[in-house]
Amino acid sequence: MGDADYGVHKLAASTVDWKAVREDFPILHEQAHGHPLIYFDSAATSQKPRPVIEALRKFYEHDNANVHRGLHTLSSRATEAYENARQRVAEYIGAASPDEIVFTRGTTESINLVAQAWGGKFVREGDVILLTVMEHHSNLVPWQLLAEWTGAQLRFLPVLDDGTLDLEQLSSLLTTVVKLFAFTHQLHLKTKCAADGAFEVFADSDRSRTTGRTLILRRQGAGCSLVRRRGCFLAGHETEEAGH
């Protein structure tokens, strides 16, 4: 990547040395209440490993400039680094093109952007936005506001007594008037894509030990799809998915 390469690398091994990973995060050398710090709030603020800290330091020391808005050397290098990052993110998450990657300040801003831009154009009175009762505010309030602005209705996929989603009700809730199905990956929702068409929704029992079951949206060849057949768009809250 030339001068704009900041040392970001892909995971090469299938097994993970968690002790080595922990050593890569300087902040994890801190203590909390007399014990080594264990940090669970990455969805709100992610801690930075040493390569990220060093990449930021190198950028501010050598290449800091406007991106896409300058013709001088520093701006060119900053723009190259920015677009290289977009390419890497696209490759990492399996996007069809870097053009599909839009950088925002966080997941909440991204959801609000979708709700106000896409939702403001396509969601109309009488449409339904389907959520789950497990959603937290960042994936609830934007859709509540959109429903208030447009006259759309909110419906919710319920939870069973054991804390898992009631997937038996999904088919009846996912009717043709549902414009959007929005869910959070905190429930371990995953999307599997292939070249042709339809989605199927099912539970992955291997992850039923977590809060809620895994819903996997799997493309099937030539068959009926529960989601696409009914003309529904999908919005996944994927804050914690990137690391998986």
Per-residue pLDDT of the chain (244 residues; tens, 9 = 90+): 444 544 444 444 558 888 898 999 999 999 999 998 989 887 778 899 999 999 999 999 999 999 999 999 999 999 999 999 999 999 988 889 999 999 998 888 989 999 999 999 999 999 999 998 888 888 899 999 999 999 999 999 898 887 777 878 888 888 888 888 888 754 433 333 333 333 334 333 333 333 333 444 443 322 225 555 666 676 766 565 565 5
CATH of 107-237, one of 2.60.40.10, 3.40.50.1950, 3.40.640.10, 3.90.220.20: 3.40.640.10
Q: What is the C-alpha end-to-end distance of the chain, expressed in Å?
A: 25
| pTM for this prediction | 0.68
Q: CA-CA distances (angstroms) from residue 44 to 13, 30, 107, 141, 168?
A: 28, 19, 9, 16, 32
Where b means 16+ CB within 10 Å and e means fewer, 2-24 reads eebebeeeeeeeeeeeeeeeeee
CA distance 177 to 231: 9
Residues contacting residue 82 through CB under 8 Å, at least 6 positions apart: 67, 68
Where in the chain are all domains bearing CATH 3.40.640.10?
A: 107-237
**31-32 and 233-237 strand pairing:** unpaired
Tokens 């520093």 sit on residue: 74
